[in-house]
C-alpha cells in the first residue's frame, strides 16, 4: 500500500485512499455500520429533545432572550446533547479501532475482514475509550483555563477589560488546544498497534511527534480540510432537497422528522466516506514517524515477506 521508506504528504494521502479502494468492503462496511447506528440514535434524540421546541430559539438568538430564558434553554438541551455526544464518541472509538487494524494490515498487503478487525481491536477498546475521553477533556480544560481570567474579570464588573482578556485568552487557548491535538494525535494508533496503555500511548505519541510537529499539523489539517470539502459537497444538495420537499432546514426554529431524516442520511454518507480516510491518514502518519525514527520499514518488509 505504501513504499517502505519515509513517506511524503502525497504518499500518505494516496495510501489512505488506496486502502479504501482496495479494501472498500471492510473499510466502508465498518464506517457505514458505525455511521448508521450513531446517526440513527442522534436523529431520534434530536427529534425527541429538540424538534418543535420554541425554547431552543433562544440559543439561536441569545440577544433577544433574557439570561433566565437562555439558561433554561441550555438546561433543556443538555440531556439530548449529552446522549448524542456519548453515542458519537462511542462510534468514533469503535471506528478508529477497527479501521486502524485494517490500515495496518493493508500496509503489509493483507486483507482483513470485519470479524478479524473486531477480534484484534476488542481487547483494546476499553483503553481506547479512556484515551478518547481524556484527550477532549485535556483540550477543553486548556481552553477553559485560558478563557477563565477574562470571564472572572467581566463578572467582577470590568466588562470592557474582561472581554479583551477573554478574547486574548481564547486565542491562546486555541493555540494550546491545537498543540495538544497534534502532540497526541498519534496516541490512538500507538495504543492499538503497540498494545500500549492510555498514558504510555500519550507519551509515545509525544515522542514520535517531537521535531515533526509542523509537518504532522499540516497533514492532519489537510485531512480535516478534505473532510470539510466532502461534507460541503454533500451538504449543498441536501439543503436544496430539504427546502424543496419540506420547506424547512435544520437551522430553523422548528424541524420536522423529514428534515431530520434527510440530514441524517447526508451525515451517514459523509461519515462513511471520510472515516476511513481520516483513520488512514493518522495510522500512516504513525507508521511514517516510526519508519523515520526507528527504521520500522525493515520490520515491515520482513513481515510482508512472510
- Predicted confidence (pLDDT) per residue in 116-125, tens digit: 999 999 999 9
Mean pLDDT of the chain: 81
Computed from CA positions of residues 88, 90, 96, 101, in that sequence, does the dihedral angle turn out positive or negative?
negative
Q: Which has the minimum average pLDDT: 224-233, 267-276, 293-302?
A: 293-302
Confidence of residue 148 (pLDDT cuts 50, 70, 90): confident
Q: Once rounded to an integer, what is the mean pLDDT over residues 145-154?
A: 85
What b/e string do you get for 75-88 counting C-beta neighbours within 10 Å, with b at 16 or more?
A: ebbeebeebbeebb
Of the CA atoms within 13 Å of residue 222, those in its CB half-sphere come to 15
pLDDT digits (tens, 9 = 90+) for 155-213: 787 778 888 888 888 899 899 989 999 999 999 999 999 988 999 999 999 999 999 99
**Of 251 and 32, the one with more pLDDT:** 32
In a 10 Å sphere around its CB, with 0-12 CB exposed, 13-18 middle and 19+ buried, how is residue 15 labelled? Answer: buried
The confidence score (pLDDT) of residue 248 equals 55
Q: Which has the minimum average pLDDT: 159-168, 217-226, 295-304?
A: 295-304
Nearest-angstrom CA–CA distance, 61 and 12: 43
The confidence score (pLDDT) of residue 250 equals 47
C-alpha grid cell, residue 24? 472498500
In a domain, 174, yes or no: no
**pLDDT higher than threshold 90 for residue 60:** no
Q: Please give the C-alpha separations between residue 162 and each of 145, 171, 189, 202, 245, in angstroms, as whole numbers.
A: 14, 14, 41, 35, 47
254: helix, strand or coil? coil
**Of 79 and 266, the one with more pLDDT:** 266
Number of DSSP helices (H) and strands (E) in the chain, helices first: 12, 0
Of the CA atoms within 13 Å of residue 97, those in its CB half-sphere come to 27
Percentage of the residues of the chain whose pLDDT score is greater than 90: 24
In a domain, 108, yes or no: yes
Q: Which of 180-189, 257-266, 295-304 has the highest mean pLDDT?
A: 180-189
The confidence score (pLDDT) of residue 84 equals 74
C-alpha grid cell, residue 215? 509537518
Within 10 angstroms of residue 105's Cβ, the number of other Cβ atoms is 19
The confidence score (pLDDT) of residue 58 equals 46
Q: How many domains does the chain have?
A: 1
In a domain, 196, yes or no: no
Residues 6+ apart with CB under 8 A from 301: 4
In a domain, 135, yes or no: no
Confidence of residue 80 (pLDDT cuts 50, 70, 90): low
Place of cell 484515551: 131
Nearest-angstrom CA–CA distance, 228 and 230: 6
Confidence of residue 52 (pLDDT cuts 50, 70, 90): low
In a domain, 46, yes or no: yes
H or E segment and range at residue 277: helix 257-294
Q: Which domain holds residue 13?
A: 9-124+211-305
In a domain, 199, yes or no: no
In a domain, 153, yes or no: no
Residues 6+ apart with CB under 8 A from 267: 35, 39, 42
Are 32 and 26 in contact, with CB atoms under 8 Å apart?
A: no
The confidence score (pLDDT) of residue 106 equals 86
**Of 236 and 255, the one with more pLDDT:** 236
Nearest-angstrom CA–CA distance, 300 and 108: 7
pTM for the full predicted model: 0.81
Nearest-angstrom CA–CA distance, 113 and 105: 11
Phi, psi for 113 (deg, rounded to 5) = -85, 165
Number of residues in the chain: 306
Nearest-angstrom CA–CA distance, 154 and 49: 33
Confidence of residue 252 (pLDDT cuts 50, 70, 90): very low
Name all contacts of 21-26 with Cβ < 8 Å and 24+ positions apart.
22/106, 23/102, 23/106, 23/111, 23/112, 26/102, 26/111, 26/112, 26/113, 26/114, 26/117
In a domain, 187, yes or no: no
Confidence of residue 224 (pLDDT cuts 50, 70, 90): confident
110: helix, strand or coil? coil
Amino acid at each position: 500500500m505504501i513504499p517502505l521508506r519515509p513517506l511524503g504528504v502525497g504518499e500518505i494521502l494516496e495510501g489512505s485512499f488506496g486502502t479504501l479502494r482496495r479494501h472498500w468492503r471492510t473499510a466502508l462496511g465498518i464506517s457505514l455500520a458505525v455511521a448508521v447506528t450513531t446517526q440513527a440514535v442522534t436523529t431520534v434524540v434530536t427529534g425527541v429533545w429538540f424538534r418543535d421546541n420554541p425554547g431552543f430559539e433562544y440559543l439561536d438568538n441569545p440577544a433577544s432572550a433574557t439570561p433566565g430564558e437562555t439558561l433554561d434553554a441550555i438546561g433543556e438541551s443538555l440531556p439530548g446533547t449529552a446522549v448524542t455526544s456519548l453515542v458519537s464518541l462511542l462510534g468514533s472509538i469503535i471506528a478508529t479501532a477497527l479501521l486502524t487494524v485494517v490500515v495496518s494490515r493493508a500496509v503489509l498487503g493483507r486483507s482483513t475482514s470485519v470479524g478479524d478487525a473486531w477480534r484484534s481491536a476488542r481487547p483494546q477498546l476499553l483503553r481506547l475509550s479512556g484515551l478518547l475521553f481524556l484527550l477532549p477533556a485535556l483540550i477543553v480544560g486548556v481552553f477553559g483555563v485560558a478563557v477563565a481570567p477574562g470571564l472572572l474579570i467581566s463578572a467582577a464588573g470590568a466588562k470592557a477589560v474582561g472581554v479583551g482578556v477573554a478574547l486574548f485568552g481564547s486565542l491562546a487557548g486555541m493555540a494550546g488546544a491545537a498543540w495538544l491535538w497534534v502532540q497526541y494525535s498519534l496516541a490512538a494508533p500507538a495504543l492499538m498497534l503497540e498494545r500500549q496503555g492510555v498514558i504510555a500511548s500519550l507519551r509515545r505519541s509525544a515522542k514520535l511527534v517531537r521535531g515533526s510537529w509542523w509537518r504532522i499539523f499540516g497533514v492532519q489539517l489537510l485531512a480535516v480540510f478534505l473532510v470539510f470539502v466532502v461534507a460541503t459537497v454533500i451538504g449543498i444538495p441536501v439543503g436544496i432537497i430539504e427546502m424543496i420537499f419540506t420547506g424547512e432546514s435544520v437551522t430553523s426554529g422548528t424541524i420536522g422528522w423529514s428534515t431530520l431524516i434527510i440530514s441524517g442520511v447526508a451525515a451517514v454518507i459523509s461519515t462513511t466516506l471520510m472515516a476511513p480516510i481520516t483513520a488512514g491518514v493518522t495510522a500512516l502518519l504513525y507508521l511514517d514517524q516510526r519508519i523515520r525514527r526507528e527504521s520500522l520499514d525493515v520490520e515491515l518488509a520482513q513481515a510482508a515477506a512472510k
